[in-house]
Amino acid sequence: MIQEKPLALVVTENLNTKLFFRKNLEDRFHVIEKKEADKAIEIAETTNLDLVFIDEKIENAIDLCFQLKKRKRLFTTPIILITKSIKKAYRDKATKAGVFDFLFLSLDVDQLNQLLEKCEEDKKRRKKVSSISFKLKKNNP
């Protein structure tokens, strides 16, 4: 049985950013590209996404992070904000909106790989916690 690739949504208008993700994610993910927030929300409502990248340059990027994160389907899905800002206030606002981490410009393959590894570790941790929680519920009716 062939295992399907996980799904990654990339929300950006920038061609270079799209090409970067195509080149560096294609072997591990099926990449879905959208240019606008409303199109990204449509995909999020109908697809089980494993990872989301949002370019801060799209209109209302932080609000889009919040809109996606509040959906049950994406509650545990990592959202990565592509940004050049390292200002603490901006990062705090994004984190409160549900951003898991940041991919800083200029785009770097090593940084991307570190983030992917971090996302995978978080996924394993959540599965472990979920498994323990299930066992506790099962043993305490």
Q: What is the pLDDT of residues 82-103, one digit of tens each?
A: 999 879 999 999 999 999 999 9
For residue 1, being part of any structural domain is answered with no
Please say whether the dihedral angle defined by the alpha carbons of residues 117, 110, 29 and 35, taken in this order, is positive or negative.
positive
For residue 41, being part of any structural domain is answered with yes
Helix extents (H) in the chain: 15-25, 37-46, 61-69, 88-96, 109-139
For residue 99, being part of any structural domain is answered with yes
Total count of domains within the chain:
1
Task: Please choose, from the candidates 91, 100, 47, 35, the residue with its C-alpha nearest in 3D space to the C-alpha of residue 71.
Answer: 47
Q: What is the pLDDT of residues 22-68, one digit of tens each?
A: 999 999 999 999 999 999 999 999 999 999 999 999 999 999 999 99
CATH number of the structural domain spanning residue 130: 3.40.50.2300
For residue 122, being part of any structural domain is answered with yes
Measured CA to CA, the distance from residue 13 to residue 92 in angstroms comes to 24
Measured CA to CA, the distance from residue 132 to residue 30 in angstroms comes to 31
**pLDDT of amino acid 10:** 98
For residue 68, being part of any structural domain is answered with yes
For residue 102, being part of any structural domain is answered with yes
For residue 14, being part of any structural domain is answered with yes
For residue 2, being part of any structural domain is answered with no
Domain range for 84 is 7-139
pLDDT surpasses 50 at 1: no
